[in-house]
Amino acid sequence: MLPFSTSAFSNTLGATDQATQRKALVTPLKVKFDGKPEDVLRHIADFNHRCKEAGVVEDFRFIVKKNNPPSTLDLAEPVDHAKWHSNPDRFQFGNILLDSSQATIEKLQHARDEIRASLSKLSSQPDPKQDVQASKQLVSFQNHEWIYTLLQTVLTSNIKAIMHHYNELHDQDGVVLWFCFLNHFCRNNY
């Protein structure tokens, strides 16, 4: 996969294409997943393709591990501390659309809960130019909801009943629900 989005959608807060992006993501797939083992890989491929086309691949990221700061930084110094906390190398990330082998339910719940905790501190919609991080988190929160909506439209009622057992784990978050799906149907296949 390319290291950048090839989606036509901007995936930014307040973008004029936001409604179109939502529609492109939540429109049901051509075939509902009915749980047949021979259909699992096709369903995963269709779902992954939809997410790539809609530009929401980054929403499936999770922290694999925290990296140690370089020895040249003194975290007791405020400037170095700030540098390290904004450094993209601070964490090693994974993405369950690309490889779910290092993912755990706890890691994905942590990613979800970090977004929710940050957004709970907001009293109004963030300005995308003034508060870039909060804007990205709000968009990601919306994407997680849209992914949940998509999954609810592409699973048959029997599969929804199976996935209902995971309600406490995913708490209506599409990314976590997708991981529950992968874990349930692909433990040994994916």
Q: What is the pLDDT of residues 78-110, one digit of tens each?
A: 898 888 888 888 999 999 999 999 999 999 999
Q: How confident is the model at residue 3 (pLDDT cuts 50, 70, 90)?
A: low
Strand-pair partners of 92: 65
* DSSP summary character for residue 77: S
pLDDT for 4:
60
Q: What is the pTM of this model?
A: 0.88
120-151 in b/e form (b: 16+ CB < 10 A) is: eeeeeebebeeeeebbbbbbbbbbbebbbbbb
Report the sign of the C-alpha dihedral through residues 47, 154, 7, 114, in that order.
negative
pLDDT digits (tens, 9 = 90+) for 141-166: 999 999 999 999 999 999 999 999 99
pLDDT class of 180 with cuts at 50, 70, 90: very high
